[in-house]
A and B are shown apart, each in its own frame.
Chain A
Amino acid sequence: MIERQSWLKVTSHLVLVIGALLVISPLYLALVASTHSAQDMAQSPVPIWFGSHAWDNYGQILGGNVPGMSNQIPVSQMLWVSLVMALLIPAGKIVISLMSAFAIVYFRFPWRMGVFWAIFVTLMLPVEVRISPTYKVVADLGMLNTYAGLTIPLIASATATFLFRQFFMTIPDELVEAAKMDGAKPMRFFWDILLPLSRTSIAALFVIQFIYGWNQYLWPLLISTDENMYPVVMGIRRLIGGGDAQIEWNVVMATAVLAMLPPALVVMLMQKWFVKGLTEGDK
């Protein structure tokens, strides 16, 4: 930097340390709470250092036999539903967006711009603004409590289509000409040239969409009425049903930790893709 003033450097680190600590403390305290017994967590102030009940808590919730809670669906089942959503939604979004972007960029056909705008307009129709009628459509199609119902309605993606379109536009025309001269059919060009070139965009998009799929809440709230189809982010809500005093915070926090772990790992380990995906094409 320009100045070599040490007080400025110290201030910078101080502000960032305080900021980072404030941001990370809820996660830390959740982790701590998940290692204590229900009794420890019922007193105030709650412990701020790890306890010795981690194995008990995590074992109980994963197996679905938390003492005092009958018919508890094992969290392992919820994690499975979440994982299916977190994998199928990005996969579906990427596949259908690649296909539409390919069609829009590399073909001339009537209504091409109409199609483009139709996809664009979906940006303005989030689930939140059409809750009841969308629920009815899914119900009429018999897709309540199915993985298809949980994933397919969420895979349309204007932003992913834009991202790929934007990227395809930067690919030199010479590549298409060369491919055509070699007698390559469109799908051949798609598989052998376009797809390998799109790898980085696909990776970045997958990371963002994995988090999006894993963290779905309102949609499963409408579609899943059978407990076996609850993703963990939604299932955790059942654990805080009773008033403030009856909540078993150790169990709730152990579940919360498991609900946060996969997307957190993805953000941490694939930070490069994550930042790229976020700043270059939102949602």
Chain B
Amino acid sequence: MQKQVVFHSKWLPWALIAPQGLVILVFFFWPAAQALVQSFQQSDAFGTSVDWVGLDNFKALWADESYLASFRTTAVFSALVAGIGIAVSLLLAFFADRIQRGAWVYRTLLVMPYAVAPAVAGILWLFLFSPSVGLVAYLLARCGLEWNALLNSNHAMALIVITAVWKQVSYNFLFFLAGFQSIPKSLVEAAAIDGAGVWHRFWTIQLPLLAPTTFFLLVVNTVYAFFDTFGIVDATTKGGPGKDTAILVYKVYFDGFKALDLGGSAAQSVVLMVIVVALTVAQFRYIERKVHY
């Protein structure tokens, strides 16, 4: 944890930590504490009086059908994003691991979406699925499917899932590829000599050895779907139609910033904090396991 040989100074370490410490205190801890305090308060419409209301804000949240719906939406959304994203990138990495020639071309192309901002990615796919001019919507219409993400909530959900997966495949792909390449060749070769075919080796050797990577990506993808997809939702569906794609992060922004319900929004923030803490702990579980390997 620490060096045996260290420098000695009473003030220097504090001076070195001061800039980061100041930013953290002012922009992280203070606002987070505010959110915590506000979640137990209720201010009237004019902001003149503030009352302590205990757990009322949280009770109101659990009683609010739209909040529970937002929870379900987020669960469906992140399960789809993490599931499809991991499956697709595992497939691509499996084949990318098998070839040498031209591998860097595929890699360069496959990592490009990582460079694209979520909001811009949303706009690209909004264009492709635009009912009036979108190419994909046009092809779907030729197949007899009238596509309209503005009216059909399943279409809207598909739009944000596709966008989010498209953006995240790059990241997952790089990790899976590194995972495949870190599996000792001797293991796979030994199995091959024993007569195990490609698929058999994949299921019995490579996939189990990739389990830690997969678990790590599952957590990272869930965090991504929960928190980093705000731009995608805001650029494409804006939570619509109705509230059918309003994921939790979008709802907390909308309620706090557009609808100006401070207490309710603060309570939502606190719920989100609990979720992040749980996910971070899960992530660290993985890192510990990796260390002990």
Chain A residues with a Cβ under 8 A of chain B: 1-3, 8-9, 11-13, 15-16, 19-20, 23-24, 26-27, 29-30, 33, 41-46, 48, 95-97, 99-100, 102-109, 112, 115, 118-119, 122-126, 128-138, 141, 152-153, 155-157, 161, 169, 173, 176-177, 180, 186-187, 189, 211, 214-218, 221-222, 233-234, 236-237, 240, 244-245, 247, 249, 252-253, 256, 259-260, 263-264, 266-268, 271, 274-275, 278-279, 282
Please give 10 more A-B residue pairs, beta carbons under 8 A apart, in addition to A23-B112, A112-B13: A24-B112, A99-B19, A109-B13, A128-B227, A128-B249, A133-B35, A137-B27, A244-B132, A267-B114, A278-B174
11 residue pairs from A and B, CB less than 8 Å apart: A11-B95, A29-B135, A46-B133, A108-B2, A129-B252, A129-B276, A130-B273, A137-B31, A173-B4, A221-B234, A268-B112
* Interface: B145 (CB within 8 A): no
**Binary per-residue interface labels of chain B (86-114) against chain A in the complex, 1 for a CB within 8 Å, 0 otherwise:** 00100110011011001001111111111
Nearest chain A CB to B227's CB is how many angstroms away? 5
Whether A96 contacts B19 by the Cβ 8 Å rule is yes
Residue among A9, A128, A153, A176 with max Cβ neighbours from chain B (10 Å) = A128
Tell me the complex Cα distance, A214–B128, Å.
Answer: 24
* Interface: B40 (CB within 8 A): no
Please report whether the interface of chain A is mostly helix, strand, loop or mixed according to DSSP: helix
Whether A16 contacts B106 by the Cβ 8 Å rule is yes
Nearest chain B CB to A124's CB is how many angstroms away? 5
B11-44 CB contacts (< 8 Å) to partner A: 12-14, 16-17, 19-21, 23-24, 26-32, 34-35, 38
Whether B231 contacts A217 by the Cβ 8 Å rule is yes
Chain B residues with a Cβ under 8 A of chain A: 2-10, 12-14, 16-17, 19-21, 23-24, 26-32, 34-35, 38, 88, 91-92, 95-96, 98-99, 102, 105-121, 123-128, 130-135, 138, 150, 166, 169-171, 174-175, 178, 188-189, 192, 198, 220, 227, 230-231, 234-235, 249, 252-253, 256-257, 262, 265-266, 269, 272-273, 276-277, 280
Whether A105 contacts B2 by the Cβ 8 Å rule is yes
Contact of B111 among A26, A187, A189, A267 (CB under 8 A): A267
Complex interface: chain B residues within 8 A of A99 (CB): 16-17, 19-20
Complex interface: chain A residues within 8 A of B10 (CB): 109
Nearest chain B CB to A233's CB is how many angstroms away? 4
Whether B20 contacts A156 by the Cβ 8 Å rule is yes
Residue of A nearest to B231 (CB): A217
Residue of A nearest to B33 (CB): A133
Contact of B227 among A96, A126, A216 (CB under 8 A): A126
Known contacts A236-B119, A256-B124; is A282 also within 8 Å of B112 by CB?
Answer: no
Residue among A41, A109, A264 with max Cβ neighbours from chain B (10 Å) = A109
Tell me the complex Cα distance, A26–B280, Å.
Answer: 33
Residue of B nearest to A5 (CB): B198
Contact of B31 among A108, A136, A256, A264 (CB under 8 A): A136
Tell me the complex Cα distance, A126–B269, Å.
Answer: 10
